[in-house]
Amino acid sequence: MPSEIKIQVNEQVHSVAADPDTPLLYVLMNDLQLQGPRFGCGLAQCGSCSVLLNGEEIRSCVTPVSAAAGKSVTTLEGLPAWYAKQKKLAKAPALHPVQQALIDEQAVQCGYCFNGMIIQAADLLSKTPQPTETQIRTAMNGHLCRCGSYPRVIKAIRRASRAMTAAMESGAAEELVAQGVHAAEVAR
């Protein structure tokens, strides 16, 4: 039976009336009207529905909403703010460096899989800031792309890694914010 469940998504606490067994994905899509996580297989095989749960990539299509209670969910929409908090930036950039790198590499085709791609890549770079190509392929292997965008995604993750490293080494958090401002201009 539906019950009142409190979940924290992108730093905001929401109260939803849902059966506790409802997969988190349906709550994020329909109750919270988020566009990042999306249905791909419902079987945890493809990565379309990925979100961060306490900073770890999970498949929201097989995670009951009750399992997210008391934890912090971050979706694609909240990724720049999550990144800023992690890196202790004064202000969230418009885009996470992985998102910006995917634009710079023009990596997208249909783009439906990119929610999961970006979430997983952000997870990877938060733990392994300078991954080798093999590490990238291994970390990303659970995410499918039917259009065949893998080569450009690999390039983009390397580009994002370089951008993040450069910004951190120069100690200039502002630089990343500036990068974000640039990204916002591109997005317009």
Partner 1 sequence: MSAAKSAPLLSQNLARREFLKAGGALVIGFSSAGAIGDALFAQDSTAARGAGGGPPDPKQIDTWLAIHSDNTATVYIGYVELGQGSTTSLLQVSAEELDLDMSQVSTVRLDTNITPNQGGTYSSSSIARGSPAIRTAAAEARQALLQMASKKLGAPVERLIVSKGVVTVGGMGGEAPSVTYGELIGDKLFNLAFSGTAPVKPVSDYKLVGTRPVRNDIPDKVSGKYVYLQHLRLPGMVHGRVVRPRGQTAYGSGAKVASLDENSIAHIPNARVVRKGDFVGVVAEREWDAVRAARDLKIAWDIPPVLPTSEGVYDAMRAEKTGDRVVLQRGDVDAAASGAAHVATGHYRGPYQAHAPFGPNGALADVKSDSALVICSTQDVYATRNTLAGILGLPPQKVRVQYYEGSGTYGHSCYDDVAQAAAILSQLVGKPVRLQFMRWDEHGWDLYGPAHVGELRAAADANGKIVAYQYDGWHHNWSAVETSAQLALGTPAAEWRDGAAQMVNPSDCGGMYDIANVRLVNHHVPGMNYLRGAWLRSPLDLSFSFASEQTIDDLARKAGVDAYEFRKRNITSDRWMGVLDAVAKASKWAETPRPPAAKLSNAKIVTGRGIGLGTHLTSYGGAVVEIEVNKDTGKVRVKRMYGAIDAGLAVNPAFIENQISGQLVQTASRMLLEEVKFNKTNVTSLDWNTYPILRFEECPEVTPIVVQRLDQKSTGAGEEVMAAAAGAIACAFFDATGVHMTEFPLTPKRVLAALHRA
* Binding residues for partner 1 (CB under 8 A): 2, 18-19, 22-23, 26, 29-30, 33-36, 38-43, 45-46, 48, 75-77, 95, 99, 102-103, 106, 108-115, 118, 136-138, 140-154, 183, 186-187
Residue pair 62/50 in contact (Cβ under 8 Å)? The answer is no
CB nearer partner 1, residue 58 or residue 94: 94
**Shortest approach of partner 1 to residue 6 CB, angstroms?**
18
Nearer to partner 1, 139 or 170 (CB): 139
Neighbours of 45 (CB within 10 A): 13
**Residue nearer to partner 1 on the CB measure, 144 or 173:** 144
Three-state SS at 73: strand
**What is the nearest approach in angstroms of partner 1 to the Cβ of residue 134?**
9
**Smallest separation, CB 44 to partner 1 (Å):** 10
CB of 182 to partner 1, least distance (A): 12
Q: For tokens 């951190």, what's the residue?
A: 168
Helix axes 114-127, 150-169, angle to 10 degrees: 40
Minimum Å gap between C-beta 169 and partner 1 is 25
Q: What strand order describes the sheet that includes 3-9?
A: 12-18, 3-9, 72-74, 50-53, 56-59
CA distance 96 to 160: 9
Structure tokens at 81: 């703010």
Residue with smaller CB distance to partner 1, 21 or 171 = 21
What six digits make up the tokens of 40? 């791909």
Nearer to partner 1, 110 or 172 (CB): 110
Paired tokens of 23: 């997969």
